[in-house]
Amino acid sequence: MTSISKSALVPYTPAQMFALVDDIETYPEFLPWCSGARVLSRTDDEVRATIELSKGGVEKAFTTCNRNQKDKMIEMRLVEGPFKHLEGFWRFDALGDQGCKVSFDVEFEFASRMLDLVVGPVFSQIANSLVDSFHKRAVEVYGKR
């Protein structure tokens, strides 16, 4: 199983960063590897969504169920896709007037050795770049601070 943990201090509020990560349908606009994203269902504290990944000749889709604690955390669990296991957490911790700490932790294992060899490096690269990608998106949406 692969585990990845990334974090960054950003000059934006937890609410602003949470809103960007929770706005799943805009992912194709700023995540170059995301060829499609659709929300299947949404309640106040839960979102089911399918993400389509396309990078380096690899094309895969997966569906997650995200449990949200508004402006604080998003817990992501696999519903279906090429994984044996996929679980992740986004955390948004306030740092007073300075902004917030954004943390992303994910564990994954593909359903087969072949998928792990072919898709594993691509997915690892994507997971490692997500925090930076959302920070760049915050600059685009909220302005440089």
Q: Which pLDDT tens digit goes with each residue over 4-35? A: 999 999 999 999 999 999 999 999 999 999 99
Q: Please give the average per-residue pLDDT across 99-118, as a whole number.
A: 93
Q: Where does the pLDDT of residue 61 fall: very low under 50, low under 70, confident under 90, or very high at 90 and above?
A: very high
What was the pLDDT predicted at 96?
Answer: 86
Q: Which pLDDT tens digit goes with each residue over 69-78? A: 999 999 999 9
66-71 long-range contacts (CB < 8 A, ≥24 apart) are 66/22, 68/18, 68/22, 68/44, 69/45, 70/18, 70/44, 70/45, 71/13, 71/14, 71/15, 71/18
Domain count within the chain: 1
Task: Provide the Cα torsion 41, 29, 90, 61; round to 10°.
Answer: 60
Q: Which pLDDT tens digit goes with each residue over 31-55? A: 999 999 999 999 999 999 999 999 8
Q: Which residue has the higher pLDDT, 127 or 40?
A: 40
| Helical packing angle, 113-142 and 14-22, nearest 10° | 130
Q: Where does the pLDDT of residue 57 fall: very low under 50, low under 70, confident under 90, or very high at 90 and above?
A: confident
Whether 119 shows a pLDDT value over 90: the answer reads: no
**What's the Rg (C-alpha) of the chain?**
15
CATH classification of the domain holding 6: 3.30.530.20
Domain that holds residue 87: 2-142
